Amino acid sequence: GEDVEQSLFLSVREGDSSVINCTYTDSSSTYLYWYKQEPGAGLQLLTYIFSNMDMKQDQRLTVLLNKKDKHLSLRIADTQTGDSAIYFCAESIGDGGSQGNLIFGKGTKLSVKP
Amino acid sequence: DVKVTQSSRYLVKRTGEKVFLECVQDMDHENMFWYRQDPGLGLRLIYFSYDVKMKEKGDIPEGYSVSREKKERFSLILESASTNQTSMYLCASSRDSPYEQYFGPGTRLTVT
């Protein structure tokens, strides 16, 4: 079945770039998403990318998609302590009546050290 | 601005009680979802709904039911709460394509 894999932890220094990686299995996924979750809160949508795109940039965030390798990454430039959170990668289910359903990875906990 | 609200941030219930968790969205979204989130297990889909009065089972529906009488409101019901239902419950809504889901703040439920 569909699966989304992420590494569990990432630690960076304030001011550095962070790169969070994700691999997915459903080659028919139409959209891929990045969410951020701060402690005790719900998930906040950061950005999403259509599967026919290679890259999307939004201020400090850059999403890269390698469809051949089914690899998605989120780069955060000039990482700040406020970026410390759990980041979730998700893919849309590509076919059938459940197209509105998303498959989420287990999340990458980003720690930013001052 | 997109908004999904959940009826409670924290809830403590006793084993065997009937529990109602309510979710309301103001974006006129067709699709609504209930997840639970547990450490090490990630997000697991309990139920979802693509239309009023419509519901579909997710990956872990046992012990839960849902109700969607109005487009903006999706309720999760624990018929007889058990300690293994202690968890963070997250509601989300989305429109059709690109299906991005917007989440509420979550309800942390403790069953004692």
In this complex, do A106 and B50 lie within 8 Å of one another by their Cβ atoms? no
In this complex, do A105 and B42 lie within 8 Å of one another by their Cβ atoms? yes
Tokens of A60: 């400090």
Higher model confidence: residue B110 or residue B53? Answer: B110
Residue B91 forms beta bridges with which residues?
B34
Q: What is the side-by-side order of every strand in the sheet holding B64-70?
A: B4-6, B19-25, B73-78, B64-70
CB A86, CB A43: distance < 8 Å: no
In this prediction, what percent of chain B has a pLDDT beyond 70?
Answer: 98
Residue B46: pLDDT over 80: yes
In this complex, do A33 and B100 lie within 8 Å of one another by their Cβ atoms? yes
- Which residues in chain B are contacts of A99 at CB distance < 8 A? 96-97, 99
pLDDT in tens, B12-22: 999 999 999 99
Tokens of A49: 């990318």
pLDDT at B21: 98
Residue of A nearest to B43 (CA): A104
pLDDT one digit per residue (tens) for chain A, 114 residues: 668 999 999 999 999 999 999 999 887 778 999 999 999 899 999 999 998 899 999 999 999 999 999 999 999 999 999 999 999 999 988 555 566 889 999 999 999 999
